[in-house]
Amino acid sequence: MNFKLFILSIFLMISSAGVAQVQFEAKASKQKLGVNERLRVDFEMNQDGDNFKAPSFSGFTIVGGPNQSVSNSWINGKRTYSKTYSFFLEPTARGRFTIGQAEITVDGDTYKTSPIQVEVTAAVDTPTDGDNSEFIASENLHLVAEISNANPFLNEAITVVYKLYVSPRVSVSNWKEMDNPTFRDFWSQNIDIRQLKIENGTYQGEPYRYVVLRKTILYPQKTGELEIEPLTLSVAVDVPSDRRDIFGGRLYKTVDKTVAAGKRTIDVKPLPDEGRPADFSGAVGKFDFKVIPGNTELAATESMDVKVEVKGNGNLKLFDLPDLEVPPSLEKYEPERNENVRTDLNGTQGTLTDNYTIVPTREGEYTIPPVSFSYFDIGSKSYRTITSEGINLDVDRAPAGSAIAGGSGSVSKQAVTVSGDQFRYIKLKASLKPLNTSPFFGSATFWSLMALPFVFLIGALIFVKKREAHVNDVKGNQIKKANRLTKRYLSEAKSNLGDHEKFYIALERALHNYLRAKLHIQTSDMSKDRIKTLLDERNVNPITSGDFIELLATCEFARYTPSSNVTMQQDYQKAAEVISALDKEL
């Protein structure tokens, strides 16, 4: 029995020796460094070797090493061994150098590492040490801003995707945003990322893991070179140290590292002047345009709906829909704007609709003229104009009894129908009573009637005085008017209190609509810098204008961050106060 166990043990040892393979490799801390930086090179083997022979390190001076470290551990009966020789090198000149092969001997066999190519450049502003935890973290952690198009047209959508790349050599335990880009001279909208997802990729040819932190759609509002400010993060990075635990495992050190995506510059091209239609209002993208009438056969005083609709992909929130012109005999009411849009990496897409209510005032046949819509087509890089067909209306006379029946000028005659009970409301048997025989003159009724004109006169004088006081109360009237405007523009936002996304979309729309009504500017001109300039030109208090612009920025940011009902209520109250204060000054 003992002999069988002995034979089995020998067999297992031989099998283990056959399975185990010697690994001997060289690792450099970086492939490219400045002439004033240091390089760390590790020669690592998984079995104990003898006669280690280092390469000549041509082009470098050895400033540290060789440092030897050994790791030997048993986990679940399995042995793990590692032995490393570390060198710290300082370059002697610029150029491309090759770190040659190192050699070891294991059980009489010689093993060699593969050569490593290293490039030495000019001196860098901030040299880093190859044996520094901060340096290791910075070399293995990168925040990148990927821009879809660096040379767009004015108002053409571009996307900015922020990716955090992490090398397999380190790990990230936590991160937070330190500085968010403001995207000046851009209309921006963040795309909601419901859950962060770790993916595998490459960075500068090396395998990395990365996570997409933020996606943003930008519409440039100015031409020329525009800067995209960097996103800055504070990241807790776990980097390996030279220390090991009692089992031989390498200990890690947590380093707080600040990384930034770096400033990016894009060159925005102006839209061409050649072929620009006269009715072009700034629409850029790919659109379809329709004018959809309701019932075209109706009677006078009856209403009909006409929808002016733009559908497609582009800067849907940055231009105005064309106006619907109608003949004088048709009464047109202010349109109701409906927006059904969504934003993703392909841009802003959806439908904008102006819903008009039309009421004919007299009978006849009328034609609503065609409506044209022009936009700049990104695909063909040319202007396109879509013209709707005219709308023919057949208006019958108003129903009998309406205020404008027969309004066309003709006199309508109808036969009079006589029925036996048409005078049934006349009483044939009167119940008459004699008048009071007491004298009327001098009675209470007489004096009451005599005093009545004087009472009316005194009341009229009091009313006129109060009316004059009301008219002269300029400040009070401004406050009342501002409060009415506040309720008018913020009614939709108030109705959506509790629904985070809808509330801030409605609040931002209310602020934009207020500016359109008061400053008579197009939506495409509503950059924060442009708004501040217009308010300054009207001598608005800088504090008031600053609060208004800050509120716009809050709406834009808050749509993509969680907010409580208390925060939404506070933002609503602040919006009411800002609009009231601004309206008094305007």
CATH number of the domain within which 502 lies: 1.20.120
pLDDT at 407: 43
Looking at the 3D structure of the chain, how many domains does it have? Answer: 4
- What SS3 class is residue 393? strand
Q: Are residues 259 and 347 in the same domain?
A: no
CATH of the domain at 46: 2.60.40.740
Tell me the C-alpha distance between 164 and 173, whole Å: 13
Tell me the C-alpha distance between 313 and 150, whole Å: 20
Question: Does 73 fall in a domain?
Answer: yes
Query: Is it the case that residue 251 has pLDDT exceeding 80?
Result: no
* Residue 225 phi, psi (nearest 5): -80, 120
Tell me the C-alpha distance between 333 and 324, whole Å: 10
- What SS3 class is residue 302? coil
Q: Are residues 97 and 140 in the same domain?
A: no
* Residue 469 phi, psi (nearest 5): -65, -40
CA angle 217, 221, 224 (to 5 degrees): 110
Cβ burial 101-137 (10 Å sphere, 16+ → b, else e): bbbbebeeeebebeebebebeeeeeeebbbbbbebbb
Tell me the C-alpha distance between 125 and 140, whole Å: 19
Q: Are residues 120 and 148 in the same domain?
A: no
Angle in degrees, 0-180, between the axes of helices 528-537 and 542-558, rounded to the nearest 10:
160
Question: Does 454 fall in a domain?
Answer: no
CATH of the domain at 368: 2.60.40
Q: Are residues 549 and 506 in the same domain?
A: yes
Among the listed residues 405, 393, 388, 390, the one whose alpha carbon sits nearest the alpha carbon of residue 331? 393
Residue 580: which region, alpha, beta or left (left: phi > 0; alpha: psi -120 to 50)? alpha
Question: Does 432 fall in a domain?
Answer: no
- Cα 186–chain centre separation: 11
- Tens of pLDDT, residue by residue over 403-452, are 544 444 443 344 444 445 555 556 666 666 666 556 666 677 778 888 88
Question: Does 194 fall in a domain?
Answer: yes
Tell me the C-alpha distance between 567 and 57, whole Å: 63
* Cα 569 to Cα 484, 575, 578, 581, distances in angstroms: 19, 10, 14, 18
| Residues composing the chain | 586
Residues 558-574, mean pLDDT to the nearest whole number:
72
Q: Are residues 58 and 169 in the same domain?
A: no
Among the listed residues 464, 439, 443, the one whose alpha carbon sits nearest the alpha carbon of residue 451? 443
Q: Are residues 500 and 527 in the same domain?
A: yes
| Most confident of the following: 375-384, 430-439, 500-509 | 375-384
Q: In the listed set 105, 127, 149, which residue is the last one of a domain according to the structure?
A: 127
- Within 46-140, residue ranges assigned H as helices are 133-139
Q: What is the 3-state secondary structure (H, E, C) of 102-128?
A: CEEEECCEEEECCCEEEEEECCCCCCC
Helix, strand, coil content of the chain in percent (nearest 5): 25, 40, 35
CA angle 24, 30, 33 (to 5 degrees): 140
Question: Does 2 fall in a domain?
Answer: no
Q: Are residues 260 and 321 in the same domain?
A: no
Q: Are 24 and 44 spatial neighbours (Cβ–Cβ below 8 Å)?
A: yes
Tell me the C-alpha distance between 47 and 79, whole Å: 11
Q: Are 231 and 162 spatial neighbours (Cβ–Cβ below 8 Å)?
A: yes
Q: Which two tokens stand for residue 92?
A: 């002697």
Tell me the C-alpha distance between 60 and 81, whole Å: 30
Query: Is it the case that residue 369 has pLDDT exceeding 90?
Result: yes
Q: Are 516 and 523 spatial neighbours (Cβ–Cβ below 8 Å)?
A: yes
Q: Are residues 107 and 57 in the same domain?
A: yes
Tell me the C-alpha distance between 166 and 170, whole Å: 7
Q: Are residues 117 and 177 in the same domain?
A: no
Q: Are residues 25 and 86 in the same domain?
A: yes
Q: Which two tokens stand for residue 242?
A: 């030279």
Question: Does 460 fall in a domain?
Answer: no
**pTM for this one?**
0.49
**Of 154-163, 405-414, 532-541, the least confident:** 405-414
Tell me the C-alpha distance between 221 and 533, whole Å: 15
Is residue 282 very low, low, confident or very high in pLDDT (cuts 50, 70, 90)? very high
Domain that residue 252 falls in: 135-268
Residues 535-558, mean pLDDT to the nearest whole number:
79
Q: In the listed set 373, 396, 419, which residue is the last one of a domain according to the structure?
A: 396
| Most confident of the following: 62-66, 92-96, 260-264, 429-433 | 92-96
- Tens of pLDDT, residue by residue over 41-89, are 888 888 888 888 898 888 888 877 777 776 666 666 677 777 888 888 8
Tell me the C-alpha distance between 243 and 248, whole Å: 9
Q: In the listed set 396, 417, 445, which residue is the last one of a domain according to the structure?
A: 396
- Cα 63–chain centre separation: 52
Tell me the C-alpha distance between 379 and 314, whole Å: 12
* Cα 122 to Cα 56, 204, 440, distances in angstroms: 23, 20, 120
| Residue matched to tokens 């090493």 | 65
Q: Are residues 96 and 34 in the same domain?
A: yes
Q: Are residues 140 and 262 in the same domain?
A: yes
Tell me the C-alpha distance between 34 and 48, whole Å: 35
Question: Does 410 fall in a domain?
Answer: no
Is residue 257 very low, low, confident or very high in pLDDT (cuts 50, 70, 90)? confident
Question: Does 404 fall in a domain?
Answer: no
